[in-house]
């Protein structure tokens, strides 16, 4: 009886405390229109800034989309990837896995933030993490992909270290088990992983990400046998041995500037650029969805929207775990 009382007494204050915390947690819960009473026009302001940037360079699209992915997979969607390194701290963006993040993705967020902050009533009211998620939605639509209601209400993270990137991002050489494990660690299942891989319908890769597939795959097969032969020789001519390491090529050889389901059609034809792309078709566990989405653009788009919405919920910062950064590139 005494034990029961002890438990009751220690548990009760926890309920009382959580009742006080609840309003704060409730505001941190993501939802569309989070800024309706704070900065009602924020989505139009961001869209306008992103569109202006897009008109300057197409790299805005893949740069922003990949930035969102890397942000969410390392310490959650908290804009920690945008923090610049300082003499005392090497930030996430300076980890070697970030080497190829396009500067235009960062610039998109900085420009959209400036536009938001220049609007009366909105200054320092919208997180960089939310601006990145809105910008991501906008670039997908600008490239011909679907649009969707984006959930908002994230806070910006309070730290960013290169060390925190280790092991958090997938590698081009990953097989299905490794891909699934890494995505599962972020609450995303195989369906989500296959849908999000469809982002490789856009953007560029440096040659070193796949040279093993075209020159030294195995002693028996210098070229990865899952690669289409003609595509393999195109890749060899675009990426000769000892190529300039700055050279980058389109990941979708067919419609590189359109957000479409051609990525999956490419996989059916042996035109997946990375091992991690082609394995989605060669592994029997993922092949059925590749085939389904290759033949049904609407089904792919629905799955992508569901998956990127789940991606946007990863590790969201609430309460004292975050703040609204004045400068997206520096901690307050
Ligand atoms: C499934 C596991 C994934 C692997 C192994 C992977 C790997 C890579 C690699 C190696 C590159 C080329 C980097 C370079 O050399 O410049 C790349 C580019 C890219 N990735 Fe992924 N990625 C994966 C998933 C994703 C996801 C989930 C997204 C977004 C939802 C994404 C979006 C992009 C974009 C847009 C680019 C092009 C970037 C640019 O042109 O600037 N990737 N990815
Ligand atoms: C993956 O998650 C989505 C919802 O988040 C669900 O609809 C789907 O059935 C899941 N797929 C698998 C293979 O578990
Ligand atoms: C865009 C960006 O900031 N890229 C950096 C990624 O990390 C390397 C070092 O590993 C830097 O040199 C890049 O500038």
Per-residue pLDDT for 293 more than 60? yes
pLDDT at 13 over 50: no
- Output phi, psi for 232, to 5 deg: -60, -40
- Would you state the pLDDT for residue 97? 72
Q: Which residues are annotated as a binding site for substrate?
A: 170
Residue 111: name the closest of 328, 322, 324, 325 by CA.
328
Please identify, in words, the CATH class of the domain defined by 42-170+316-321: mainly alpha
pLDDT tens track for 231-265: 999 999 999 999 999 899 999 999 999 999 999 99
CB 161 within 8 A of CB 135: no
- Could you tell me the distance, in angstroms and rounded to a whole number, from the CA of residue 165 to the centre of ligand 1? 15
CATH fold label, 176-310 = Peroxidase; domain 2 (1.10.420)
Q: Residue 95: pLDDT band by 50, 70, 90 thresholds?
A: confident
Quick one: pLDDT band at residue 92, thresholds 50, 70, 90? confident
Q: Residue 280 class from Cβ within 10 Å (0-12 exposed, 13-18 middle, 19+ buried)?
A: buried
pLDDT at res. 96: 79
- Closest-CA residue, ligand 2 atom 8, reads 191
- CA 108 to CA 87: how far, in whole Å? 25
Q: What is the DSSP string of 268-315?
A: HTT--SSHHHHHHHHSTTTHHHHHHHHS-HHHHHHHHHHHHHHHTTTT
**pLDDT (average), residues 181-190:** 98
Which residues carry a binding-site annotation for Ca(2+)? 71, 74, 76, 78, 80, 92, 201, 252, 255, 260
* Residue for token pair 């089904």: 299
Q: Coil, strand or helix: which one is 172?
A: coil
Rama region for 187: left / alpha / beta (φ>0; ψ in -120 to 50; rest): left
- Confirm whether 95 is a catalytic residue: no
Residue 324 has pLDDT above 80, yes or no: yes
Q: What is the pLDDT of residue 102?
A: 82
**What's residue 98's pLDDT?**
64
> Over 50: is that where the pLDDT of 19 sits?
no
Task: Give DSSP secondary structure letters for 208-260.
Answer: GGTHHHHT-S-SS-SS-TTS-HHHHHHHHHHS-TT--TT-EEESSSSSTTS-S
pLDDT score of 23 more than 70: no
Please give the mean pLDDT across all residues of the chain: 91
Domain ranges (residues) in the chain: 1-28, 42-170+316-321, 176-310
What does the pLDDT average to over 177-200?
98
Per-residue pLDDT at 76: 97
Q: Is 322 within 8 Å of 127 (Cβ atoms)?
A: yes
Give me ligand 2 centre to Cα 256, in Å: 28
Global pTM value:
0.90
The closest residue, in CA terms, to atom 7 on ligand 1 is 172
Bridge partner list, 86: 89
Counting residues of the chain whose pLDDT is more than 70, the rounded percentage is 91
pLDDT in tens, 41-55: 999 999 999 999 999
Q: What percent of the chain has pLDDT over 90?
A: 85
To test the pocket of ligand 1, the residue of 53, 64, 67, 69 to mutate (highest count of ligand atoms within 8 Å of its CB) is: 69
Which of these ranges, 13-17, 158-162, 322-326, has the smallest mean pLDDT?
A: 13-17
The pLDDT confidence band at residue 94, using thresholds 50, 70 and 90, is: confident
Quick one: pLDDT at residue 75?
96
More confident residue, 128 or 26: 128
The answer to whether 191 touches 198, Cβ cutoff 8 Å, is: no
For 49, the token pair is: 């800034």
**Quick check: 17 pLDDT over 70?**
no
Taking only the tens place, the pLDDT of each residue in 191-220 is 999 999 999 999 999 999 999 999 999 999
∠ Cα 328 106 64 (to 5°)? 120
Q: Residue 190: CB within 6 Å of ligand 2?
A: yes
């Amino acid at each position: 009886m005494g034990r029961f009382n002890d438990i009751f007494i220690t548990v009760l204050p926890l309920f009382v405390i959580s009742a006080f915390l609840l309003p704060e947690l409730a505001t941190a819960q993501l939802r569309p229109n989070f800024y309706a009473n704070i900065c009602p026009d924020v989505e139009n302001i961001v869209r306008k800034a992103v569109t202006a940037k897009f008109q300057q360079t197409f790299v805005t699209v893949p740069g922003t989309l990949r930035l969102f992915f890397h942000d969410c997979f390392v310490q959650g969607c908290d804009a920690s990837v945008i923090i610049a390194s300082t003499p005392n701290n090497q930030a996430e963006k300076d980890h070697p896995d970030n080497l190829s993040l396009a500067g235009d993705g960062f610039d998109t967020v900085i420009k959209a933030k400036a536009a938001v902050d220049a609007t009366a009533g909105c200054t320092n009211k919208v997180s960089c993490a939310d601006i990145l998620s809105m910008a991501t939605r906008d670039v997908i639509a600008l490239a011909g992909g679907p649009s969707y209601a984006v959930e908002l209400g994230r806070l910006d993270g309070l730290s960013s270290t290169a060390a925190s990137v280790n092991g958090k991002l997938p590698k081009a050489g990953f097989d299905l088990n490794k891909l699934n494990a890494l995505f599962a660690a972020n609450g995303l299942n195989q369906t989500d992983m296959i849908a999000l891989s469809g982002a490789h319908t856009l953007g560029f890769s440096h040659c070193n990400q796949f040279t093993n597939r075209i020159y030294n795959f195995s002693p028996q097969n210098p070229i990865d046998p899952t690669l289409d032969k003609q595509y393999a020789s195109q890749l060899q001519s675009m990426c000769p041995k000892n190529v300039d390491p700055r050279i980058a090529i389109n990941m979708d050889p067919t419609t590189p500037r359109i957000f479409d389901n051609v990525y999956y059609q490419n996989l059916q034809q042996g035109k997946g650029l990375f091992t991690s792309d082609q394995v989605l078709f060669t592994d029997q566990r993922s092949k059925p969805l590749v085939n389904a989405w290759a033949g049904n653009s609407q089904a792919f788009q629905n799955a992508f929207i569901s998956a990127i919405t789940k991606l946007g919920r990863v590790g969201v910062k609430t309460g004292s775990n975050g703040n609204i950064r004045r400068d997206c590139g520096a901690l307050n």
